[in-house]
Structure 1
Amino acid sequence: MTSKHWIEACGQRLFYRSAVGQPSQDRVSVVLVHGLGVSSRYFLPIMEHLATSFDVYAPDLPGHGHSPGKGQMQSIEALAQVLLGWLKVMQLERVVLVGQSLGCQVAVEAASYEPDRIERLVLIGPTMDPAKRSLHAQLPRFMADIPFERLALIPVVARDYLRMGWRAVPELQAMFAYRIEDKLPLLNQPLLLVRGEFDPVAPRRWLDEAARLHSTAQVETISGWGHAVQFSAPGRVAEIMRAFLTPQNTEFQAR
């Protein structure tokens, strides 16, 4: 069962959810990083699945969900610094970062800045496809994704976007500006790339390109679903992640 918490980090009050088991040196800490305008709420289904094997945390970044924002534009780099500050205050020394959508950019930036703290990376529906880096190109993709999500996602996302309001606009600009493709070749961590079969935001062509840029990444596709596959098919995504994160899995070692 997940629990709710507040903590001070980087001079800000941050909300987070956690699902933590009995203390053990063998328990891996998994941190979930949400996407554009949303919050930790859309990770609740997968947190329940992952918590059987891992200690799971999901913070609301500044201006998202319950965490207040200061009103200024939050760049990907700034969000990553807050995430790293939160990890330090939480005393999470070695973690697996799991990003979804824009959260993938935040996770990659954090892993680039403090590689020793980030053990492995899982990127679900990563933005931004370099071939379609504009609102004109992306808006039809987001609209095309709607039929491939669970209906239960709509009130979750709607509530988060209403709460965030106008702050989503500069964050959208930050998402377009951040060049994740320049960071992927520099990563030393093992990397798992995940997408829904019908995800138009993160097409298979882009994930294959991202895997080549990293050189050792694994690409997994979840059949039948779209961009928010961690919400629509949490059990399947958790199963793939569990295989990737088990100590016995030696296929993906740091370079």
Structure 2
Amino acid sequence: MSASTDLEGRWSLVRGTPVYHRAREVADAPVILHLHGFAISGSYMVPTASLLADEFTTYVPDLPGFGRSPRPDHVLTIPELADSAAAFLDAVGAERATVVGNSLGCTVLAAFAQRHPDRLDRAVMVSPAGGKQSQPLGRAIWQLVQDTPREPPSMATVAVPDYVSFGVVTTYKLFVAMTQFPAFQALIEVDKPLLAVLGVRDPLLPPAARIKEVVRQMQVEHLTIAVLKDAAHAINYSHPRETADLIRGFVRGEPLRSTLEPVDGRSPVAVISRGP
């Protein structure tokens, strides 16, 4: 298992706007781009990203208007955030990347896959949010409230300052856009290798039994789903080693195969693969 590797804080000019990001380049290595969630910076993605940075060129940006990156003159739509992610790759000189999204980052990833398929090697959706499961808006807000005590207490020190600075109006507009975008459905329609990492305790997802039922019924050959038994929503922060191990094997092209119920009864991760 790899040790964590420090990422360097940097600024890059993306379409004339400075964007803060954390980065480490590895010569001749595949690129992994980590996209953060709703109203928060990329800082909580670092625990997982740093475990991959010894082997892969790694970027963890604050998308425009998030974290340290300056706010644009309007609230960016989901497609505009996806275009910003592609423009960020241009800025750092990366032609293609495996894109890892969490929560809203999965929604941005889905739009990225639709709008810039030639820039996407593989897709990793960690705790996808939005779509019918988060409608109406009040239901989505209640899901977030339920998730808070299920995350590590230290997550609050990362998230709360970002939420406060993001602003009420911006939060509302983007939240509505996220809940109306069927990210998972959009991405499985893109013919790219896809890994979905889900937490059994995530209130933004259907119950575990329903997830298993849907997975068994799906006929998507390029999809692999990993279920973390004790994880909630912010898996990149709460379960970095399990997440990094899954991503590492996936990017290498290694088969991630097991049953939905591991035979030893102790494994924290269950994997089902629809790939060859």
Unaligned runs of 5+ in 1: none
Instruction: Please name the residue that 1:5 is paired with.
Output: 10
- The 1-side partners of 2:221 and 2:188 are apart by 7
What SS does structure 1 have at the residue aligned with 2:125? strand
Structure 2 residue identity aligned to 1:115:
P
Instruction: Please name the residue that 1:20 is paired with.
Output: 25
Instruction: Please name the residue that 2:233 is paired with.
Output: 227
Instruction: Please name the residue that 1:194 is paired with.
Output: 197
Structure 2 residue identity aligned to 1:17:
R
Q: Any idea what the Cα deviations from partners look like across 1:94-144, whole Å, max 9, x if unmatched?
A: 210000001101011111111111000000000114243222211221122
Instruction: Please name the residue that 2:187 is paired with.
Output: 184
Structure 2 residue identity aligned to 1:232:
S
Equivalence map 1:57-76=2 (5 Å)? 57-76=59-78
| 2:113/2:120 contact within 8 Å kept | yes
Q: How big is the shift at 1:180? A: 2.2
Unaligned runs of 5+ in 2: 1-5, 258-272
Task: Classify 1:145/1:128 alpha carbon distance in 2 versus 1 (closer, same or farther; 3 Å).
Answer: same
Aligned counterpart in structure 1 of residue 129 of structure 2, from 120, 127, 132? 127
- The 2-side partners of 1:99 and 1:215 are apart by 21
- The 2-side partners of 1:163 and 1:141 are apart by 21
Aligned counterpart in structure 2 of residue 40 of structure 1, from 39, 42, 52? 42
- The 2-side partners of 1:58 and 1:206 are apart by 29
| 1:16/1:60 contact within 8 Å kept | yes
Task: Classify 1:200/1:253 alpha carbon distance in 2 versus 1 (closer, same or farther; 3 Å).
Answer: closer
Aligned-residue sequence identity (percent) comes to 27
Instruction: Please name the residue that 2:175 is paired with.
Output: 172
Q: Say which is worse superposed, 209-218 or 167-176, in terms of deviation.
A: 209-218
Aligned counterpart in structure 2 of residue 52 of structure 1, from 51, 54, 60? 54
Q: How big is the shift at 1:223? A: 2.2
- The 2-side partners of 1:182 and 1:221 are apart by 18
- The 1-side partners of 2:151 and 2:189 are apart by 33
Q: How big is the shift at 1:164? A: 1.2
Instruction: Please name the residue that 2:262 is paired with.
Output: none
Structure 2 residue identity aligned to 1:93:
E
- The 2-side partners of 1:241 and 1:107 are apart by 15
Aligned length, in residue pairs: 252
Task: Classify 1:124/1:213 alpha carbon distance in 2 versus 1 (closer, same or farther; 3 Å).
Answer: farther
- The 2-side partners of 1:242 and 1:66 are apart by 28
- The 2-side partners of 1:248 and 1:178 are apart by 31
Q: How big is the shift at 1:71? A: 4.0
TM-score (norm 1): 0.90
